[in-house]
Amino acid sequence: MSKKVLLTGDRPTGPLHIGHYFGSLINRKALETDYESYILIADIQALTDNWEQPEKVRANVYEVAADNLALGIDPEKTTLYIQSQIPQIAELTVLYSNLVTVNTLRRNPTVKAEIAQKKELFGADGESVTYGFLGYPISQAADITHVRADIVPVGEDQLPMIEQTREIIEKFHRIYNTEIFPFPQAKLSQAPRILGLDGNAKMSKSLNNAIYLKDSAEETEAKIKVATTDSETTVGYNPEKRPEVSNLVLIYALAKGMTPEQAIGELGQINYSTFKPLLAKALNEHLAPLRERRIEIVSKPGYTAEILSAGRERAIKKAEETMNLVRKAMKIDY
């Protein structure tokens, strides 16, 4: 029996942070032996809302590649590659675009929320949204299907993309009278969501509230030192009432491999100034092997580029198999 296929992707808009790490990176490392695994660095998707910053996207392709390798994924087992290097993805995007209505794209909850957030790019009411951005769920369906993926490890915000992919597959099968694709399943991480160090729902560079995998131990300590707490004096875990402090306790617990309740039990009634250095120490210890590997990886000239190039070869081979099936079904196999 051949293995089932796993595909996931990262947008290279910044280096990966501990939210990505505890939320999904740990998962993909754990799954790589059970599946034929593909990790795609979605530079074309990143350009749909960063088309004016190609240098930023390019730089972050290498950051994200290094983060994934630092995690310890085995490049022999997992195919790591850059989306723009697989022309078949662009080709599938065009072919699928007949199967998706503009209204369906407009109603996609994730796309809708992103358009609302990006007023400077897309206008106050989204009136200037581009064809490319509105259509990125189609491109993501092409990402998922060019390797005929069975499972897609993602966060909750990506469920509408997987649902859209399943709809495209259903329509494709029905119209072209074929069954070439598996219906991909989302695999949600069990890890609870990590907030920014300021309690914001998202860790992000622009909010300056993220701890990156590539940060040094000192940078990590400095960021934790200024992390938002509350007007109480001792730590506690109550995500509803005390989101900021509970988030710090959660990070401590994840770093120590325990539950937040166990962490509170272990910590007892300690004040913030005692807790914060303990948190920094726990997180730094947890990330130390990864950070050492990362430094080694980026210091080897050409190492990451070589892996991405081997990944490209493997992904193209798989994508061409898919294209043969697709072209035949669509009667464009001249």
Query: Which residues of this chain interact with ligand TRP, rule CB under 6 A?
Result: 7-11, 40, 42, 45, 140, 143-144, 152, 154, 158
Q: How far is the CB of 9 from ligand TRP (least distance, A)?
A: 3
Exposure letters 116-127 (e unless 16+ CB within 10 A, then b): eeeeebbeeebe
Q: How far is the CB of 20 from ligand TRP (least distance, A)?
A: 9
Q: How far is the CB of 135 from ligand TRP (least distance, A)?
A: 13
By beta carbon distance, the residue nearest ligand TRP is 9
Q: How far is the CB of 137 from ligand TRP (least distance, A)?
A: 9
Q: How far is the CB of 116 from ligand TRP (least distance, A)?
A: 16
Rounded to the nearest 10°, the torsion over CA 169, 175, 180, 182 is 30
Strand 78-82 to strand 151-154: parallel, antiparallel, or no bridges (unpaired)? unpaired
Question: By C-beta, is 57 or 280 nearer to ligand TRP?
Answer: 57
Question: By C-beta, is 9 or 311 nearer to ligand TRP?
Answer: 9
Which residue pairs, CB below 8 angstroms and at least 24 apart, start in 156-164? 156/188, 157/110, 158/110, 158/186, 159/186, 160/108, 160/109, 160/110, 160/111, 161/108, 161/110, 161/137, 162/186, 164/100, 164/104, 164/108, 164/137, 164/138, 164/140
Q: How far is the CB of 211 from ligand TRP (least distance, A)?
A: 18
Question: By C-beta, is 79 or 246 nearer to ligand TRP?
Answer: 79
Question: By C-beta, is 29 or 281 nearer to ligand TRP?
Answer: 29
* Single-letter amino acid code for the residue at 158: Q
Question: By C-beta, is 157 or 296 nearer to ligand TRP?
Answer: 157
Question: By C-beta, is 10 or 32 nearer to ligand TRP?
Answer: 10
Residue 304 buriedness (CB in 10 A; 0-12 / 13-18 / 19+):
buried
* Single-letter amino acid code for the residue at 133: F
